Structure formats: structure tokens, C-alpha cells
């Protein structure tokens, strides 16, 4: 049986107008996705043909990763480690990491009429989240009652919670704050594979 051709792995750095591709300077790569971890991780081992030039300046850069032309994730470079030879190990995570590293605004206040979409964009707006997508009525579910806006199919009706239950805790990350709210609705938040300004809400079956 013939072996399947290797996947075409591409890492694009739009701000630099630069990309790396498997079969080129990339010698190996890995994508690490774990349901128990909020942010997906990735790593690349490449050959820095310019010594400690361009690859050494990638830390903090926005990167888009695709396999066989299909977007897999958007994120940033966390670290660049040079080996004894010209090899370089580049590591990073998807953009959910921004929510893990930034604290939620302690003055954030939720209103009775807010939906999950409202809460996500308000809390995560400082890290660039502007859009919330979902395949059903999740995004427009009322954050307190659990009911969806009437034009959509109704969500689960929770016992009303007091707003104090949704206040940010001191030093709480944006992700932890949102995860606490979304978990009440049995909803998960996932990154878009191609748009750093968007997250997706889903409800596991």
C-alpha cells in the first residue's frame, strides 16, 4: 500500500510578509490540541539559514497555520530557541492565550438583558474579540436566566442568578471569568481557525 503524501504545513507571518513551509526550512512540526487545555499549542523546528537573523525576531509575531491549504489556527509566537547549529525551535499558542494572560476588568458589570455574546465581547474586547459565532441560539442566550431571545429556539431556563455571582474575582483572567459563566450554560468557547477577532460557542452533545 502506498504511503499517504506528507501534509503541507505552512506558517505565515503577515506582519513580516514571510512564510515557512514543510519541505523548505521547516524540518518538523507539531500541533497540540487538548480539550482540557484552553489554548492549542504548536511548535516548529526549522533551519535558520540566516544565522540569528529573521527567525530570531519572531517572538510576539502573529502567525497563521494551515495544513494542506486549510486554516488550523491563528496565534502568536511565544518563544524562539536557537540550537548549537542553525536549528531553531519556535513555539506558540493560539490567540485564546491572550485571554489566559490578561486579567478581566475588575469594574466589569453585567446587566440583566445581556446575552452570552454581549458578555464575551465586553470581557474579551480588550484582547481584540469583536465577534461571537454559534450554530444555534447559544450566543443570544440571556446570561442570567438562560433563556434565548424569542425569535430563536428557547434555551434552557435556569433558576435566576444574582448579578453578584458574575462579578470578576480579583486577578481573575478573562478566560477564567468567561469560562465560569459559560460552564453554567454548559457551553464551551473555541477559537476561530482563521480570525483572531472571533470566538465560537458550542454546546457538547
pLDDT of residue 57: 84
Rounded to an integer, what distance in angstroms lies between the CA atom of residue 164 and that of residue 78?
A: 36
pLDDT in tens, the chain (205 residues): 455 567 899 999 999 898 999 988 899 999 998 766 789 999 999 988 765 566 778 999 999 999 999 999 999 999 999 887 778 999 999 999 999 999 999 999 888 788 888 899 999 999 999 999 886 555 555 554 555 544 334 444 444 455 456 789 999 999 999 999 988 888 889 999 999 999 998 887 6
Give the residues across from 45 on adjacent strands: 28, 89
How confident is the model at residue 82, as a pLDDT? 86
Nearest-angstrom CA–CA distance, 60 and 101: 13
The per-residue pLDDT for 186 is 85
Which among 154, 102, 138 is positioned nearest to 123, based on CA atoms? 102
Measured CA to CA in angstroms, residue 10 lies from 2, 35, 66, 67 at distances of 24, 24, 5, 7
Helices 116-124 and 174-184: crossing angle, nearest 10°?
170
96: left (phi over 0), alpha (psi -120 to 50) or beta: alpha
Amino acid at each position: 500500500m502506498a504511503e499517504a503524501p506528507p501534509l503541507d504545513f505552512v506558517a505565515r507571518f503577515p506582519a513580516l510578509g514571510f512564510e515557512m513551509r514543510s519541505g523548505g526550512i521547516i524540518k518538523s512540526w507539531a500541533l497540540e490540541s487538548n480539550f482540557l487545555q484552553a489554548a492549542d499549542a504548536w511548535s516548529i523546528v526549522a533551519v535558520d539559514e540566516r544565522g540569528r537573523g529573521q527567525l530570531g525576531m519572531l517572538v510576539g509575531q502573529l502567525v497563521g497555520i494551515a495544513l494542506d491549504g486549510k486554516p488550523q489556527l491563528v496565534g502568536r509566537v511565544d518563544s524562539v530557541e536557537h540550537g548549537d547549529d542553525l536549528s531553531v525551535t519556535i513555539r506558540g499558542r493560539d490567540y485564546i492565550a491572550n485571554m489566559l494572560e490578561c486579567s478581566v476588568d475588575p469594574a466589569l458589570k453585567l446587566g440583566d438583558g445581556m446575552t452570552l455574546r454581549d458578555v464575551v465581547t465586553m470581557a474579551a474586547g480588550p484582547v481584540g474579540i469583536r465577534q461571537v459565532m454559534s450554530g444555534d441560539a447559544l450566543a443570544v442566550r440571556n446570561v442570567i436566566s438562560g433563556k434565548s431571545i424569542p425569535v430563536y429556539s428557547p434555551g434552557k431556563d435556569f433558576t435566576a442568578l444574582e448579578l453578584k455571582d458574575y462579578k470578576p474575582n480579583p486577578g481573575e483572567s478573562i478566560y477564567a471569568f468567561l469560562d465560569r459563566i459559560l460552564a453554567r450554560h454548559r457551553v464551551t468557547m473555541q477559537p476561530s481557525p482563521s480570525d483572531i477577532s472571533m470566538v465560537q460557542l458550542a454546546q457538547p452533545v
